[in-house]
């Protein structure tokens, strides 16, 4: 009983002292800075264990050593498409010797005779610059240029019985002209077993070719053709045939009103 009373007295004395110390400390240190927070050096605390570096497991180390899926994917290499270069026309002097491509067809014309290709030559005639001279004997067309020069083109002319001569002006020009065969031609070809259309629109299949120059009020024209083999020959019904490239070149050089002389 005495021991219990002593313990109660000690506890009361300790509680009173503690209360006094707290009151004095709070009254004196009310406006002082709080003490710094210090981490416990006890590494056994549960939250501090999270700060320790964890060793990777064997499975994690193996996954890190494996190549990534992106590296293992097959890489497709696209080869550049080779574009075939067009053959260049080599010139020997002033005459081309290689084949060239027609304007109205995707096939290549093999020009066996280099003299059938256009060339600039000397001219000593009386025609003025800008005039056209059609020489049916030579089967050549000359466009007179300034400086006593002329542009010479190979042509196809009228077959026997369809030759003609005269002087006319270019009254009209047409790009990919249509074709209306004369009645006489339709009847003539019908007797041969060939039926001609009454009208054919311009295009690659049209025998008038890529360009046409109309001569006066006649039925004759200087025009292209889809029959390149006929150039240099006398097979037409009187018109002057030219390779499509050549008639396109002539078309750009000759205005309406130019004088054309067929001899």
Catalytic residues: 223, 239
Which pair of structure tokens corresponds to residue 231? Answer: 């150039």
Q: How far apart (Å, rounded) are the C-alpha atoms in residues 255 and 31?
A: 109
Fill in the DSSP letter of residue 15.
H
To the nearest 10°, the Cα dihedral for 248, 250, 251, 254? 170
Q: How far is CA 90 from CA 93, 97, 99, 172, 202, in A?
A: 10, 6, 10, 35, 33
Which tokens is 207 given?
A: 């025998």
**Measured distance CA(198)–CA(185) in Å, rounded:** 10
How, if at all, do strands 91-92 and 95-96 pair? antiparallel
The DSSP result for 108-144, as a single string, is EE----GGGS-EEEE--SSPPTT-EEEETTTTEEEEE
Give the burial class of 220: count Cβ atoms within 10 A of its Cβ; 0-12 exposed, 13-18 middle, 19 or more buried.
Answer: buried
Residue 98 CB coordination number (10 Å): 14
């Amino acid at each position: 009983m005495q021991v219990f009373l002593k313990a109660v007295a000690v506890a009361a004395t300790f509680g009173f002292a503690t209360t006094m110390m707290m009151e004095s400390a709070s009254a004196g240190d009310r406006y002082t800075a709080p003490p710094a927070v210090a981490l416990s050096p006890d590494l056994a605390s549960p939250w501090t264990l999270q700060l320790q570096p964890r060793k990777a497991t064997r499975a994690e180390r193996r996954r890190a050593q494996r190549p990534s899926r992106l590296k293992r994917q097959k890489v497709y290499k696209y080869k550049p498409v080779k574009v075939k270069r067009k053959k260049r026309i080599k010139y020997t002097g002033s005459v081309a010797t290689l084949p060239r491509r027609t304007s109205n067809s995707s096939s290549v014309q093999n020009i066996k005779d280099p003299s059938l290709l256009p060339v600039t030559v000397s001219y000593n005639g009386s025609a003025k610059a800008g005039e056209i001279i059609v020489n049916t004997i030579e089967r050549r067309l000359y466009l007179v240029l300034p400086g006593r020069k002329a542009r010479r083109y190979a042509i196809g002319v009228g077959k026997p019985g369809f030759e003609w001569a005269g002087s006319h002006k270019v009254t009209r020009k047409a790009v990919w002209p249509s074709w209306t065969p004369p009645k006489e031609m339709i009847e003539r070809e019908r007797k041969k077993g060939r039926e001609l259309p009454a009208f054919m629109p311009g295009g690659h299949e049209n025998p008038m070719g890529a360009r046409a120059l109309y001569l006066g009020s006649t039925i004759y024209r200087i025009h292209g053709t889809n029959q390149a083999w006929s150039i240099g020959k006398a097979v037409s019904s009187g018109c002057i045939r030219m390779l499509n490239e050549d008639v396109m070149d002539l078309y750009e050089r000759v205005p309406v009103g130019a004088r054309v002389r067929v001899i």
